[in-house]
Structure 1
Amino acid sequence: MNIKTLRLVGILEGISFLLLLFIAMPMKYMMGNPILVKYVGMGHGVLFILFLAVLFTVCEKQKWPLKMFLMGLVASILPFAPFLFDKKLKSLEQAPAQA
C-alpha cells in the first residue's frame, strides 16, 4: 500500500460520508424513504474500515508518527475533513519527488 492508494480510499470515504449525510439521511427523515441509508450506509461503513486499515498500513510503512494516524482518524469522522487530510497527504506524496 502507498500514499496514492490511501488518498484514493480517503476521497471515496469522504464522498460516501457526504452522500450519507446530505442525500441518504434527508431522504430517510424528510421523505420517509430509508432505502438509500441502507446501501450508502453500508458502502460508507466498508470504506471507513478500509480507510483505517490502509491508513494504518501506510503509517507503518512510511514510519509516520502516531499523530499522523490520529489526524487521519479524526478526518474520517468529520464531514469535509477527508479532503483537507488529502491535501496534507498530497504534500507528503510529492515531497520525496522534489528532494
Structure 2
Amino acid sequence: MLQTFRWIALVEGVTTLALFLVAMPLKYWGGNPVLVPPVGMAHGLAWVAYVAAMAVCLPGKGFSASEWARTFVAALFPFGTFLNDGLIRRKMAARGPA
C-alpha cells in the first residue's frame, strides 16, 4: 500500500509542477489560458486522491502523529510530496518486502 501511496504522491507532485511551471506561465506570460482548466482539474483530482490515499494506505504502517501531519502538509506546498518521499521510502524499508 505504501508503494501505491508513493505513486499517487508522485502524480500529485507532477500535476502541481505542470500547473505552476507550464499552464500558469502560459496563461499569464503567454496570454493563452487553454491549459489551466484541464491541468488544474487534474491537479485537484490528484490532490483529493492523495488525501484519500492517506486515509487508506497509511493506517497501521507505523506513522506517528507528526509524520501524518508532515505527510498532509507536504500536499499543500510545491515540491512537498517529493521532499516527503524519503519518509515514505524509510517506512517501506522498515516494513520489509511487501
- Report the TM-score when normalising by structure 2: 0.90
Q: SS at 1:60's partner residue? A: coil
* Deviates further, 82-91 or 65-74: 65-74
- Contact 2:8-2:50 at 8 Å conserved across structures: yes
Count of residues in Structure 1 that have an aligned counterpart in Structure 2 = 97
CA distance in 2, matches of 1:49, 1:66: 20
Instruction: Describe how 1:8-87 pairs up with structure 2 within 5 A.
Output: 8-62=7-61, 64-87=63-86
- Tell me whether 61-70 or 20-29 shows the greater mean CA deviation: 61-70
How far 1:57 moved relative to its partner?
1.7
- The one-letter code of the counterpart of 1:22 is L
Measure, in 1, the Cα distance between the counterparts of 2:56 and 2:4: 11
The offset of 1:61, in angstroms, is 3.6
Bigger helix fraction: 1
Gaps (5+ residues) in structure 2? Answer: none
Aligned-pair identity in percent equals 31
Query: What is the RMSD computed on CA atoms of the aligned residues?
Result: 1.5
TM-score by length of 1: 0.89
| Equivalent AA in structure 1 for residue 69 of structure 2 | L
Gaps of 5+ in 1: none
Cα distance in 2, alignment partners of residues 39 and 56 from structure 1:
26
